[in-house]
């Protein structure tokens, strides 16, 4: 394992992790090795100085000084180190989509230098985007083949960003595909029809990328999607169905769509009343052979990536664990 770690975090390694520079500097510092600027072919010296000062920082004034000295790198590090995934997920998805750094910076309220620092030190992939095998196996992982859990939306962004580009990301992340702003009551009605159609199409595509265990929901939503296409064809072909009838039918379908597998009485994870309810909302179903394997203590290989990304309820305080009778 030590020999592997010593070689994997290098630019020329065929399976290097995206944050190989960050990990490499950590290895060198742990080994007490120096990085000489004159022989720094991997651009590690600035990151080395930053990590040393970060490790010594123990007050807010120290962090403020670090920000002043390395504004772009500090901003990139805060995104990398933040457990909240939304901004990090969008930034990495847009880098994979090959969107220009200045446009990424404008959308995420970052400096272009911060985006470049993030790509260099924490998500170094731009020189390997022509290698779909590397991106699929090293960035996406087993979820591509085993199916995504619902809470892996940031991975879905990366997949669509890499293969489909930044315009698809705009629609997926912001939930709108650049709709025109209505300027009359008639255009408001037209907007509702177009918007419902967009939502059905997008959610159908997303659902089909999720785990095969959701087959009941996939079949039902797929059938509704086909029915919507049939209504649109009839309307465009003079079948006698007007726009109002299409909207009425699509609205009825939307009310029946089973977007949630379990009815917990809440529609958004932010509305969960306790940790257990929030964890339950992130659950996913298992196939029969997976249940059988888990029942005898084995974890199927196709589930390991989901277990690694799973979120569990917090443990009770140590005092409560050691003194259960105290309660």
Model pLDDT for residues 294-320, shown as the tens digit of each residue: 777 777 776 676 666 666 666 655 455
pLDDT at 259: 45
* pLDDT tens digits for range 135-167: 999 999 887 877 777 678 899 999 999 999 999
What pLDDT does residue 309 have?
65
User: What pLDDT shows up at residue 256?
Assistant: 56
Decide if pLDDT at 260 tops 50: no
pLDDT of residue 216 exceeding 80: no
Q: If you average pLDDT over residues 113-130, what whole number do you get? A: 97
Q: What is the pLDDT of residue 162?
A: 97
pLDDT for res 266: 45
SS (H, E, C) the chain: CHHHHHHHCCCCCCCCCCCHHHHHHHHHHHCCCCCCHHHCCCCCHHHHHHHHHHHHCCCHHHHHHHHHHCHHHHHHHHHHHCCCCHHHHHHHHHHHCCCCHHHHHHHHCCCHHHHHHHHHHCCCCHHHCCCHHHHHHHHHCCHHHHCECCCCHHHHHHHHHHHHCHHHHHHHHHCCCCCCCCCCHHHHHHHHHHHHHHHHHHHHHHHHCECHHHHHHHHHHHHHHHHHHHHHHHHHCCCCCCHHHHHHHHHHHHHHCCCCCCCCCCCCHHHCCCHHHHHHHCCCCCCHHHHHHHHCCCCCHHHHHHHHCCCCCCCCCHHHHHCHHHC
Between 45 and 152, residue with greater pLDDT:
45
User: What is residue 193's predicted lDDT score, i.e. its pLDDT?
Assistant: 79
Query: pLDDT-derived band of residue 120, with 50, 70 and 90 as boundaries?
Result: very high
- Residue of higher predicted confidence among 201 and 91: 91
pLDDT at 35: 82
Mean model confidence pLDDT for the chain: 79
């Amino acid at each position: 394992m030590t020999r592997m770690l010593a070689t994997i975090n290098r630019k020329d390694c065929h399976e290097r992790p995206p944050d190989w520079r960050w990990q490499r500097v950590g290895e060198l510092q742990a080994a007490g090795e120096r990085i000489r600027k004159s022989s720094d072919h991997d651009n590690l010296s600035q990151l080395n100085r930053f990590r040393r000062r970060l490790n010594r920082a123990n007050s807010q004034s120290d962090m403020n000084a670090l920000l002043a000295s390395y504004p772009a790198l500090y901003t990139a590090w805060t995104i990398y180190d933040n457990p909240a995934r939304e901004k990090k997920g969008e930034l990495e998805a847009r880098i994979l989509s090959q969107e220009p750094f200045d446009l990424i910076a404008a959308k995420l309220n970052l400096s272009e230098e911060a985006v470049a620092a993030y790509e260099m030190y924490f998500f170094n992939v731009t020189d390997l985007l022509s290698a779909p095998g590397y991106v699929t196996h090293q960035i996406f992982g087993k979820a591509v083949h085993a199916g995504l859990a619902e809470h892996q939306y940031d991975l879905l962004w990366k997949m669509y960003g890499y293969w489909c580009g930044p315009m698809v990301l705009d629609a997926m992340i912001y939930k709108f595909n650049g709709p025109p702003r209505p300027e009359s009551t008639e255009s408001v009605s037209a907007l509702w029809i177009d918007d419902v159609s967009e939502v059905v199409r997008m959610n159908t595509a997303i659902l089909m990328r999720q785990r095969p265990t959701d087959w009941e929901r996939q079949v039902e939503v797929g059938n509704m999607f086909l029915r919507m296409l049939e209504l649109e064809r009839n309307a465009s072909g003079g079948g006698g169905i007007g726009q109002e009838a299409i909207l009425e039918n699509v609205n009825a379908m939307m009310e029946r769509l089973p977007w949630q597998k379990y009815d917990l009485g809440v529609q958004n994870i932010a509305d969960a009343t306790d940790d257990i309810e929030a964890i339950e909302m992130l659950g996913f179903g298992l196939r029969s052979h997976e249940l059988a394997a888990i029942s005898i203590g084995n974890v199927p290989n196709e589930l390991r990536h989901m277990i690694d990304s799973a979120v569990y309820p917090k443990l009770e305080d140590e005092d409560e664990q050691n003194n259960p009778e105290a309660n």
